[in-house]
Amino acid sequence: SWIEDGNTITRAAVVVAFGFPSLVVLEEVIARRPTSFPYVPGYLSFRELPAVLDALKQLTVTPDLLLCDGQGIAHPRRFGIAAHLGVLTDLPSIGVAKPILVGTHDDVLEERGAWRLLRHREECVGAAVRTRIKTRLIYVSVGHRISLEAAIDYVMRCTTKYRLPETTRYADKLASSR
């Protein structure tokens, strides 16, 4: 999230550590940081990551895996926020996004757990995944140090009642309440 005050924009990043597979919240951190980086489509991570990195540094537990609200390699430059964060932290990371930025996929069955490869310029960049029966798709892509199949499995195991993983839902709720 962000707060604009004249010429200064403050980015707020929420990082929540969950136990897995229980999805019990272990810790939550909100970090705020001013930024002067302008909004440039496709360069979200340059604007968002300084606050995210600050929040990660404040955690007292070290994450084994990062689920990011955004793209991994399913990105015009193959370097979305999940890929960028994974490289900077050297932690396995997964991009989980609502909009499709690049690529096409075949029709996905209307059942929970159904998915199809997301391809861009003949390269597999992720998967279109149905997390609930008859809901809109989400787009899962590798960020860093994880296979696509493992990424889909983790996302499905973190998605219990709703379209988005509980990790994303909880962080979004926390961000909007502050």
**Helix%, strand%, coil% for the chain, nearest 5:** 25, 30, 40
pLDDT tens, position by position, 130-176: 999 989 999 999 999 999 999 999 999 999 999 999 999 999 999 98
Q: What is the pLDDT of residue 37?
A: 87
- Whether the predicted model's global pTM rises above the 0.85 cut: yes
pLDDT tens, position by position, 67-120: 999 999 999 999 999 999 999 999 999 999 999 999 999 999 999 999 999 999
CATH superfamily for domain 2-173: archaeoglobus fulgidus dsm 4304 superfamily (3.30.2170.10)
DSSP code of residue 108: -
- Give the type of residue at 29: V
Q: What is the pLDDT of residue 6?
A: 63
Q: What is the pLDDT of residue 38?
A: 86
